[in-house]
Structure 1
Amino acid sequence: MNPILFFTAFLGVFILLNMYISKRLIAKLDTKEKYKRYLRIFLVVNFFGIIGYMLGRYYVDIPNWLYFLFSLPIGILFLLFCTAIIYDISRVVLHHSPVSEKRRNFFKRSLDISSLVVATSLSARSMYEARHVKLEKINIKIKKLKKQYKIVQLSDIHIGGLIDKTFIHNIVQRVNALNPDIVVITGDLVDINIVHAKETLDELKSLNSKYGTYFIVGNHEYFHDIAAIIDAVKALGIRVLENENVYIGDEGEGFNLAGVYDVFGYRTKSYVPEISDALRNLKESPTVLLAHQPRYIEEVTDNVDLMLSGHTHGGQLYPFRFLVKLQQPYISGLNQHNENLQIYVNKGTGFWGPPMRLGASSEITDITLEPIT
């Protein structure tokens, strides 16, 4: 899409959201006009923050603290919009409810106050959740597996902007403390020009595991010179799985680890996922497939026991979960796709866009593969 057209459409959507909040929430509050004016001024300032975010992300090099401030308005506006919808519906229901005028006025004032308090509280909570990465522990039983293996999965880190060297350093320390057999990174690792990401990326050299670290590309790698990113990751000593597989563990007691390019490659006509190549010459052992987007599972054959994915961020801000569900068959956690195939979807170790998460915490996944006894 033409950048100017995208930028115009992007801002147009947010103008409409601002108009709805102004007309259906702020205008309906039972408060003095000057307070309504302050809230509308906040909306205008917030909107210019969104413009600053777009410029800072794609066009202008700005200080990290300023980028942080510019990153917040998109999330704040979205939460305000969701609050405005609930407020609007509640107000209409209250208006038609069979209660006395005095009681209706009391409920209306309570609705006004609680709506603003909830929007503020959710914004604060979501900022807290984005910076506190949870450890998700899960045991997955695999048919024909001979011994136990520990996989630590990272996904959707989105290096760039607010995901910096310190963030990655802390993640690496936590992963190493788990003493994994292997570490897998299931896409969207880099979300900036690789020239600006190398210092942060270098922190991944310190990842320690028995059989090494493995990486597949996600859709965001295609936006920032995918070939350069793959080369940079390889230079760290990390194995990039490009429609291929490797064997993990001792002969006859391990498992196949396969990885494919992302489905975004179908659009670019390059770096296209090929399941047949990824599963070629498999050993007689279980197979774990790395594929960035859960919807790739529709192309998976019966030769795969477990697929590890990311991409969805678990919805990142809870109401988005319903929109993501329109595109992806699975949003988070462990799911049984069919009799022979399971899929685990990591909610993302970092975040994209606003540094906010609500109902979908960032995660490091500690996966223990277990034999079925």
Structure 2
Amino acid sequence: MNMQILFPLILTILFSLIHSLAYTRIVKHLHIKPSTRTLLKYLLIANMIAVLGYLSSRYFFSPPKFIYFIFSLSIGFGFILLMAIILYELLHFLQRIAPFKEEKRIFFKRTTDLGFLTLGSAYIGAGVLEGAKEPIINRIDIPQNRFGGKQYRIVQISDMHVGGLIERDFVAKSVETINALNADLIAITGDLTDAHIDTLKDAISELRHLKSRYGTYYIVGNHEYFHSVGDTIAYLKTIGIHVLENSSMKIDDFYIAGVYDLFGYRSNTFVPDITKAMAGIPTNAPTLLLAHQPKYIEYLEGFTPSLILSGHTHGGQVWPFGYLVSLAQPYLKGLHSLGNNRHIYVNSGIGFWGPPMRLGSHAEITCITWS
């Protein structure tokens, strides 16, 4: 089945189930006025309609930006509802077994229900406020003693997800911030786009203004596969970006290599090939590998790049969903040792996917000093 049909279909089924359970397992059991329960019911229906609007606007039409913002928030609310269902089941259990007389039990339930709704509202508000903040600049030192005292400044961005709420102004401002860091090399580790490139050229064209000593290097992420990955690659090449397609090249004292994303195995196109990417690189040469998903360390087939730069995880984006991400990925964010003076850095993303929300993670631009 075409991914443009399968992906939104899966999400529609998932969010329909979540909203249904939110009503039957939470709203129907809250100790609140009937009018309030009815209001919450209609809010759930409205949020589900907004979810459908979000999925439709991703693939079929472009609503005004404010409407799209509301649609996007509905995705975040949906995931928060999933967490709320789990939490309320535990709370409901405690309410039922509390060793109180009936009058006190009712008071306890009314109080805990109110606290539950208040906490949920604060959680949503904090996530929206954090999501509106500017990306931070994360300065990381990686001393591997590979260049005889010489060092390289690498600026990494990942997961910009241009499209929808992330437009030309955001890209232009990001370029200005990156250029101020005076990088030797700029690495873009996938999920740059979240729509077909034909609709994003005005925004993506801002990347032609990136400045660094050795240029800008890019690999695809999984989201590019949803919107004609080949077209995206072709356009980026026209604006002076080096696209690494299971390929490598020598840059001064080190090699840089890049692979297609692991999603290529599912789509059976643009399939990652580490052997091809590392071909011609001397065994002990300092090597920088760009691989969108940190999970790619499980596919190295014996190759030992000195430094791997990844993204994909968004640092979990909204707590506590990082724990779910960690079930699929070996690292959530930050710098990690791979042993034998080797490292991987997982960027938390400069943008966001779905809701414009973050909690427990920061949008970032990483400035790495590699020596």
Q: Structure 1 residue 75: deviation in Å?
A: 0.6
Structure 1 length as normaliser, TM-score? 0.92
Alpha-carbon contact 1:286-1:305 (below 8 Å) kept: yes
Correspondence 1:172 to 2:175: yes
Report the RMSD for the aligned CA atoms in angstroms: 1.9
Correspondence 1:219 to 2:222: yes
Q: Structure 1 residue 228: deviation in Å?
A: 1.5
| Alpha-carbon displacement from aligned partner over 1:180-207 (angstroms, at most 9, x marks no partner) | 1111000111111111110000111121
Q: Distance in 2 between matches of 1:135 and 1:178?
A: 9
Alpha-carbon contact 2:221-2:260 (below 8 Å) kept: yes
Q: Structure 1 residue 280: deviation in Å?
A: 2.0
DSSP 3-state at the match of 1:121 = helix
Aligned 1:1-373 pairs, distance under 5 A: 1-2=1-2, 6-99=7-100, 101=102, 103-132=104-133, 133-146=135-148, 147-249=150-252, 254-282=253-281, 285-300=285-300, 301-370=302-371
Name the amino acid aligned to 1:66. Answer: I
Q: 1:12 to 1:223 in 2, by over 3 A?
A: closer
Q: Distance in 2 between matches of 1:221 and 1:345?
A: 19
DSSP 3-state at the match of 1:139 = strand
Q: 1:136 to 1:101 in 2, by over 3 A?
A: farther
After superposing the two structures, state which structure 1 stretch, 160-169 or 295-304, moved more: 295-304
| Alpha-carbon displacement from aligned partner over 1:91-128 (angstroms, at most 9, x marks no partner) | 31233133455554443233212211221122122222
Alpha-carbon contact 1:318-1:358 (below 8 Å) kept: yes
Q: Distance in 2 between matches of 1:310 and 1:79?
A: 23
Q: Distance in 1 between matches of 2:68 and 2:80?
A: 20
Name the amino acid aligned to 2:246. Answer: N
DSSP 3-state at the match of 1:344 = strand
Q: 1:189 to 1:8 in 2, by over 3 A?
A: closer
Alpha-carbon contact 1:335-1:343 (below 8 Å) kept: yes
**Runs (5+) with no aligned partner, structure 1:** none
Alpha-carbon contact 1:302-1:340 (below 8 Å) kept: no
What count of residue pairs does the alignment treat as equivalent?
A: 366
After superposing the two structures, state which structure 1 stretch, 159-168 or 110-119, moved more: 110-119
Q: Distance in 2 between matches of 1:282 and 1:8?
A: 43
Q: Distance in 2 between matches of 1:337 and 1:101?
A: 58
**Runs (5+) with no aligned partner, structure 2:** none
Q: Structure 1 residue 9: deviation in Å?
A: 3.8
Name the amino acid aligned to 1:258. Answer: A
Q: 1:6 to 1:297 in 2, by over 3 A?
A: closer
Name the amino acid aligned to 1:333. Answer: G
Q: Distance in 2 between matches of 1:329 and 1:337?
A: 11
